[in-house]
Chains A and B, each alone.
Chain A
Amino acid sequence: MSRSTTDAPSLPATSPTTAGTTGRTSRGPKAPRTFEQANRRLKWLMLSPALAFVGLMIVFPLIFTVNLSFTDAFGAVNADNRYIGLQNYADALTDVRRFWPAAWRTVIFTVVAVTLEVVFGLALAMLMRKAFRGMRMVRTVLMIPLLATPVAIGILWLLILDPTNGIANHLLGFVGIPPQEFLGSVSQSLPTLMLIDVWQWTPMMTLLLLAGLTTLPEEPEEAARVDGATAWQRFRHIILPMLWTTLLTALVLRAVDALKTFDILYATKGAGGGSSFEVETLNVYAYGLTFDYQEYGLASAVLVLFTLFIIGVVVLLRLRSGRKSA
């Protein structure tokens, strides 16, 4: 990190000060250093600390994890592990007790939560599209769920949704709905956490889509209005197609994060996603395998499969975006 600040200033000093000159410099005795070459060195100097940092932090772990996934590592990662080929993958993919339910929960959680977030986020963005009094305040309020600490949010919802002492059941009582168990029950835990996720991340969708909406030209919509298109027609055939790329970018970012949701699940339901694994997603499962059971080999295989799955989702959504916007 010191390189960019100490070496770099001396470097471009050898470059000519104006573009398009011959490029000969007094300090480049061997090769004539052109402007472009000097710039190339500068840009790599500026880039390399960040690239090297992220690369080192990610490349070694990835190799390490892939390697572990082919071993029977258990208890310790550096003990004498035997290579067992694809056994861990076979074990994971035939595990109908923990792996497949976890994979299924991951998909359900993501699809339901992200769909609701897109629908609500888009509706709210359309509501807020035209300026109104208090816009600033509403945007501030929208920032709070997504910037607040997830663990704190998890604890907060534990209090609100407490079956006996929570305000949620108290309020439901006013409209005649019997008390619910929420996070205290096996069947309601995952849906409840989906709704908490929707509360937490709909604002992000709204802010992203609002940013997208403000960049859209107004003329097409005005033209359609003049031609007598209804509000719904203008939304469906003018705004939505123009907003499509922003929508898909937001969708990809949110889907990746939703697949990897951990903090709020772990904070509210603890290790293993509860006593019956009721909210155990792939991320929670892999975490438990790793740090509760020290099943490093199997955990690594699950993580490789999980990572491939996330990449698959991203590629799929990107392909769709390419086809639609083309």
Chain B
Amino acid sequence: MSTVATRTPGSPGPAATTRPPVVLRPPRRSPWGWLRALAITVVSLIFAMPVVWMIAAALKTNVQVTDPSVGLIFSPTLENFRSILADGEILRSMGNSLIVGVASTALSVVIAVPAAWAVGRFSMQRTGSVVLVARIVPAVSLLVPWYYLFAQVGLVGTYTVLILSHMFVSVPLILWIMIGFFEGLPVELEEAARTDGLTAFGAFWRIALPLAAPGTATASVLAFIFSWNNFMFALILADENTKTMPVTLFSFISYASTDWGGLMAAAALMTVPVVLAAVFGQKYLVAGLTAGATKG
């Protein structure tokens, strides 16, 4: 596809106003166009290179990692991954992250999606502002009371408390994304279904929910990623057996700060799944992340 294929004839860019359209030849870029392309390339490199460097470092030997003159040209080795996975701690905490992420996301979807529909359909925007409150309060101020409360019932250190604490982030997130999504669905479809004999709940269950599947998927992936990344909750509420990947990674800094290769391999194990999600779900994830921001 050509660069200017998206331009409609009616709204030519600055380049086209100054010269007649050239046929049979791809339109040349103006100096500004080249500058813009260069700027975008440089900026993309700035954002991408650190993560590329992480993955490269994970594939280097420990001598190469600490020698900055070894750039991106080297013969990769999986030695770092082999050594950190042999320990078992990384795999266990990745498993914990997976359990907590999946469970907290699934439960959050179950309670947040119907709530989002209610807010979106019955315009209860004030209720939606609960989301903002949950975002404002510093998590540290919740951790002591949570710890105290959950210690009373013997839940500290269990998956349950981790799942509940992560849900505190994902319920507002899913609510926020899905309110916008339901508001965007034409209400006529549900009204038509109601006329045809479906109840209000039936209209939600059989009409709105299937239509909202892409939005729900987006919200779920984002909720999972934020759970996967969450550091502070597990730092306090998890114990040795339930601690999640970021906590394990953090403990590696203190105890093995010279093993850069191992650290980078562990960091890459955390980051690569997220990068893959970004690559394959780019369009949806951008829509989810920016949901609600343009409404003002």
Contacts and interface: CB of A to CB of B under 8 A. Distances in A.
B200 A15 contact: yes
Interface stretch (A40-48, A88-96, A108-116, A186-194): A40-48
Given A50-B175, A57-B164, A286 B40 contact: no
Contact of B67 (A11, A57, A124, A165): A165
Interface string B263-288: 11011101100110111001101110
Interface string A252-277: 01001100101100110010000000
A47 B125 CA distance: 12
Contacts of A212: 293-294
Nearest to A303: B141
A190 to B, nearest CB: 19
Given A49-B111, A78-B148, A12 B294 contact: no
Contacts of B254: 270
Interface string A239-253: 000000110111001
Contacts of B13: 130
Interface in B247-274: 249-250, 252-254, 260, 263-264, 266-268, 270-271, 274
A103 B201 CA distance: 49
A86 interface: no
Contact of B65 (A44, A159, A170, A267): A159
Contacts of A145: 47, 50-51
B122 A43 contact: yes
Contact of B141 (A61, A159, A253): A61
B274 A149 contact: yes
Interface stretch (B75-83, B126-134, B212-220): B126-134
A199 B141 contact: no
Chain B interface helix/strand/loop/mixed: helix
A5 B110 contact: yes
A180 interface: no
A1 interface: yes
A80 interface: no
Interface residues of A, number: 116
How would you classify the secondary structure of chain A's contact residues: helix, strand, loop or mixed? helix
Interface string A128-158: 1011111011111111111111111101111
A134 B267 CA distance: 28
Interface in B80-138: 107, 110-112, 114-115, 117-119, 121-122, 124, 127, 130, 132-138
B142 A57 contact: yes
B57 interface: yes
A308 to B, nearest CB: 10
A78 B296 CA distance: 44
Contacts, number: 317
Q: Which 9 A-B pairs have the closest CB atoms?
A: A245-B296, A170-B68, A61-B145, A50-B115, A152-B267, A211-B290, A64-B145, A12-B199, A143-B278
Given A61-B145, A262-B139, A283-B138, 17 more contacts: A13-B199, A15-B199, A19-B194, A57-B164, A142-B47, A148-B229, A149-B228, A151-B249, A155-B249, A155-B267, A156-B51, A159-B260, A199-B50, A249-B292, A283-B140, A303-B138, A304-B141
Interface of A: 1, 4-5, 8-9, 11-13, 15, 17-19, 38-39, 42-44, 46-47, 49-51, 53-55, 57-58, 60-62, 64-65, 68, 77-78, 124, 127-128, 130-134, 136-153, 155-160, 162, 165-167, 169-170, 199, 202-204, 207-208, 210-212, 215, 218, 222, 245-246, 248-250, 253, 256-257, 260, 262-263, 266-267, 270, 283, 286-287, 290-291, 296, 299-300, 303-304, 306-307, 310-311, 314, 321, 325
